[in-house]
Structures are given as C-alpha cells and as structure tokens.
Amino acid sequence: MGRQSLPRRVDFIPQTTYFKPTGIPLPQLQEICLSVEEAEAIRLKDLERLEQEECAQKMNISRPTFSRVLGSARQKMADALLNGKAIRIEGGNFEMALSRFRCVNGHEWNVPFQVMINTPPQFCPTCNTPSIMPLQPPGVGWGRGGRGQRHGRRGWW
Ligand SMILES: [Zn+2]
C-alpha cells in the first residue's frame, strides 16, 4: 500500500451535530463520535440510496474503504440508538470543495474546509488586502469553536 490516506470528499455538513437521548442524566451519558465522512457515507448510501460504487466515487475513495467507513458509521449509530448514547458528529479526515472567497479587488479563491476551521483566511493571497469575504457562509455551528470572538472589524470593506 504505502499510500497516504487522502481526505475524503464530503458534500454536506449536517447542521445538527449533536444528538442526545432524553431522560439520561449528563454524567451517565455516553457519547459516540461520528466523523464527518462517516455521516456522509450514511447520507449517500442510506439516505440518497446510491450504489456503493457511486458513493465511493463521490467521496473519492475506493469501494472497500467506503464499505469500511459505512460499516463503522452504521455500527456507531446502532450502538447509540440501542444503547442510549449521544452522538456527536465531528472531525475526521475530509475536505470540502466549498468556501470560496473574494477580495475587494475581485480575486477569488477556494479555501479547503479544514483550513477554514483551523485558520480562516485573513488576506487575499493575490494582493494581500484584508478586505475579503466568503461567497458562501462557512459551515453552520461547526465544531467545538473555542476560537473566541473576533473583535472590531464589522463589515468587510
Ligand atoms: Zn486580491
């Protein structure tokens, strides 16, 4: 093998990323972490009902890999559902072809989703102006945050 595990392509980030069974006190609540690519595998296969081959292609992975991701996702969901555990959808090895940015001078570029999460762009890579804005809103309510609010600078231009 010796191949680096490439990020899986994901078209969709669920807006709700936490599911919790009712009636279980928090200290007793066990939590399962579903990665974003596992959620995507479930979405493609079980929601969109695509063939495994198609799913694998969409996610840019081999069929056996897809099958493994899907199996793990289903196993986790079953565990959560039947054993009353919470599910958190978070992290994983994936990339999104989203997040296009534009600067005040009209340059446009793409920012991989994972970069967005860790270090959102501050400057245009072409002309270095800080007057940039996303053309699409970044993922909603994603991750644990903890990045603190940015002060100052309301309005992009
Ligand atoms: Zn620019």
Q: How remote is the CA of residue 103 from the centroid of ligand 1, in Å?
A: 5
Instruction: Give distance in angstroms: CA of 127 to centre of ligand 1.
Output: 4
Whole-number pLDDT of residue 76: 96
The pLDDT assigned to 54 comes to 94
Give distance in angstroms: CA of 60 to centre of ligand 1: 31
Using the mean position of ligand 1's atoms as its centre, give its distance from the Cα of residue 133 in Å.
Answer: 11
Ligand 1 centroid – CA 7 distance (Å): 28
Distance 108 CA to ligand 1 centre (A): 7
Range 141-151 burial, b when 16+ CB lie within 10 A, else e: ebeeeeeeeee
pLDDT of residue 140: 40
CB 18 within 8 A of CB 87: yes
pLDDT at 63: 96
Residue-wise pLDDT tens digits, 36-64 = 889 999 999 999 999 999 999 988 889 99
Q: At what angle do helices 63-83 and 52-59 cross, to 10 degrees?
A: 100
Q: Is there a contact between 37 and 95 (Cβ–Cβ < 8 Å)?
A: no
pLDDT of residue 6: 65
- Residue 51 pLDDT: 96
| Cα–ligand 1 centroid distance for 119 (angstroms) | 18
Q: What is the rounded distance in angstroms from the CA atom of residue 140 to the CA atom of residue 88?
A: 15
**CA 130 to centroid of ligand 1, rounded, Å:** 9
SS3 115: helix
DSSP state of 137: P
Centroid of ligand 1 to alpha carbon of 156 (angstroms): 13
| CB neighbours of residue 79 within 10 Å | 14
Measure 95 CA to ligand 1 centroid, in angstroms. Answer: 24
The two tokens of residue 81 are 């559902």
Q: Please give the structure tokens belonging to residue 15.
A: 């807006």
Nearest to 38 by CA among 82, 78, 115, 91: 91
pTM: 0.58
Please list the ranges in the chain whose pLDDT falls under 70.
Answer: 1-6, 13-15, 92-98, 113-114, 116-117, 136-157
Give the pLDDT score at 18.
Answer: 84
